[in-house]
A and B are shown apart, each in its own frame.
Chain A
């Protein structure tokens, strides 16, 4: 006992770091072993890298599968109910109660269209709001936001502690939802569960709004290789699930990869600096695309012409 005490005091005097470092490491290891396992993928990156950098580790051995280019069709149809789309016609017969729903198609709109628009998403949304905002649209995007935490996240917009504040204090005619890149390391089932919850919340607060689901944009080839989780097929799978939510009536899918896909399931290298986001100089491509893909539904309460029609 005396020997142990003597050894302990000697170590404490001459090498206290050894003593405390080993002790604290053992305590830490014990705490980690005892802590409940969290369902967290270790390869789940974030689309930008503020305080939580997910690093470019050497590429995994998973080969990239041939990408499935998203549909380049400009018309929108719902996979679940292709016959329930409405069309927008200029005829006066559309003013009467139609016996069959009109087919809604994307059409070019101007900046006024976005007066009552909300863009809700991750860093890709935030950066679009800085470098290529459209009209007076409201941008609420968080750098490390994912479908799992976006509803409660304070995204740093002054006066709004979460999306609930935003939704409760505005009447939006259009809500653009853009998530998915930060969730590539997660399974599709849990991703879609949370994604649908977001849509439900938006619908609850904004029952009349048109909802646009923005396709998850690919990343650059270099980023894909170094990260190992942004494989085109992973992004395509999630996009297919998102697309299936579009009904062509009030929920629409925006295949934005049209503007950046190099044809192989990667973002064109010249459009990005970090491999994940468009740059400040190229974000206008996304906003231009969105302005060319508005939905004008004269029968919809949120149609901007309603206000001018009611006044005439």
Chain B
């Protein structure tokens, strides 16, 4: 069930109605039941996989809690990591990815590591732990919340009219962002596919990659907003996942603002245990490249993902070495530097075939003899149809609209307008369909 679908809206309306009247201490159990229903709705494989992960990791954490020696705890930790990662890698190689597996695998590994370090207490209630792993608001696309961030709330999640208002606000904003912006921008890329990469003009190639960059962000941001909104309505505060990354001044800064929970996961559970930047420059560089290698594999098994990840790794290393210092001294230009390289790396992300990627780059930079049957003014038609979405997308890449909504949403007239827009978004969704989230089956 996607968030932007009628079945989900009906499911959540019914679930929330029961949740709101459920005694607080039983809400964790209800959440587990609802989340299991959500998983089974997707597929039996999805439900079976997540239940297996939840059970195995609960047992490991429980055993770690009662293990006497450090070596025993270490063995359980590494055994758990091997099991989790082994299962994830197997799924990726077989290309049979149960929904959400990449997210809850990392959540489970973080749980084991935090229990080992003593950062959080091991779970004693398997149902509440199961609710943490399967929690439907964050199941499909994160955020990758740590157990310690949610466990206390899971004991007795409290809701109020305030949490409902804030949660609904975030959900509606995310929902509308997805339907009116992300989905519309996705169509623009279809125009390029229709024409064929070899035949698009250079302006259209740039419009395409700008559009995709915005679309990717808006997909993630809208999903994160909806997840956070639902979580808030249920009494949970999810960690923030995006902090307006296109305002960054360096690639390093960008990835401190993009998919924050994933990047901090790699920082806390890979980079820092490897030594971080505490073991000299050479080791720091190596650690960074290892992190980006793993990041690229997490996103997908393919040369394009490798190219994407390692390009970013190299840029971040260069920033660490000398580039970062220059960027801090120069005004404005760093923003263009970030946008330029980020968009080029998104090309690698989007275009899976290396040969097609080469063709696209040749069109981006208007290499001689690179175009076949190119219509020089093809971008005019595309711009004339998509300019509202490009403008809207650019606006929502900044904090302005969301800050404004946050400031005024409690006014009943504003709420009425937001609700009307929400219903219009539902109507649009039903009438025209909605793109499947591109990261589904991650």
Q: Mark A22-64, 1 if CB is under 8 A from B, else 0.
A: 0111011000000000000000000011111111111000000
A16 on interface, CB distance cutoff 8 Å: yes
B422 on interface, CB distance cutoff 8 Å: yes
A20–B415 touching, CB < 8 Å: yes
A53–B419 touching, CB < 8 Å: no
| Measured CA separation A282–B164 after assembly (Å) | 54
B199–A20 touching, CB < 8 Å: no
Residue of B with least CB distance to A10: B161
| Residues of A242-281 whose CB lies within 8 A of B | 273-274, 276-277, 279-281
B199 — which chain A residues lie within 8 A by C-beta?
Answer: 131, 279-281
A50 — which chain B residues lie within 8 A by C-beta?
Answer: 187, 385
A15 on interface, CB distance cutoff 8 Å: yes
- The count of residues in chain A whose C-beta lies closer than 8 Å to any C-beta of chain B is 43
B418 on interface, CB distance cutoff 8 Å: yes
Interface centre among B161, B411, B434, B436 (most CB of A within 10 A): B161
Partner of A53, one of B164, B169, B187, B375: B187
B372 — which chain A residues lie within 8 A by C-beta?
Answer: 280-281
B186 — which chain A residues lie within 8 A by C-beta?
Answer: 53
Q: Mark B159-200, 1 if CB is under 8 A from A, else 0.
A: 011101100110010000000000110110011111111110
B409 on interface, CB distance cutoff 8 Å: yes
Do most interface residues of chain B lie in helix, strand or loop, or is the interface mixed?
helix
| Measured CA separation A130–B409 after assembly (Å) | 47
Determine how close the nearest CB of chain A comes to the CB of B404; give it in whole angstroms. 15
B165–A16 touching, CB < 8 Å: yes
| Measured CA separation A61–B230 after assembly (Å) | 32
B431 — which chain A residues lie within 8 A by C-beta?
Answer: 52
| Measured CA separation A48–B198 after assembly (Å) | 19
B194–A277 touching, CB < 8 Å: yes
| Measured CA separation A78–B194 after assembly (Å) | 34
Q: Mark B406-422, 1 if CB is under 8 A from A, else 0.
A: 00011110011011101
| Measured CA separation A12–B100 after assembly (Å) | 37
Q: Mark A118-139, 1 if CB is under 8 A from B, else 0.
A: 0000010001001110000000
| Measured CA separation A50–B434 after assembly (Å) | 13
B427 on interface, CB distance cutoff 8 Å: yes
- Knowing A14-B162, A274-B190, A274-B193, the reply to whether A55 touches B422 (Cβ < 8 A) is no
B436 — which chain A residues lie within 8 A by C-beta?
Answer: 55-58
- Knowing A51-B432, A130-B375, A281-B198, the reply to whether A17 touches B418 (Cβ < 8 A) is yes
Interface centre among A18, A19, A25, A276 (most CB of B within 10 A): A18
B: residues with CB less than 8 A from A are 13, 160-162, 164-165, 168-169, 172, 183-184, 186-187, 190-199, 372-375, 385, 409-412, 415-416, 418-420, 422-423, 426-427, 431-436
20 contacts between A and B (CB under 8 A): A12-B412, A17-B169, A18-B164, A18-B165, A20-B416, A21-B418, A24-B422, A28-B423, A48-B190, A48-B191, A51-B184, A54-B432, A54-B433, A55-B435, A123-B194, A131-B199, A280-B374, A281-B199, A282-B196, A283-B373
A: residues with CB less than 8 A from B are 10-21, 23-25, 27-28, 48-58, 123, 127, 130-132, 273-274, 276-277, 279-284
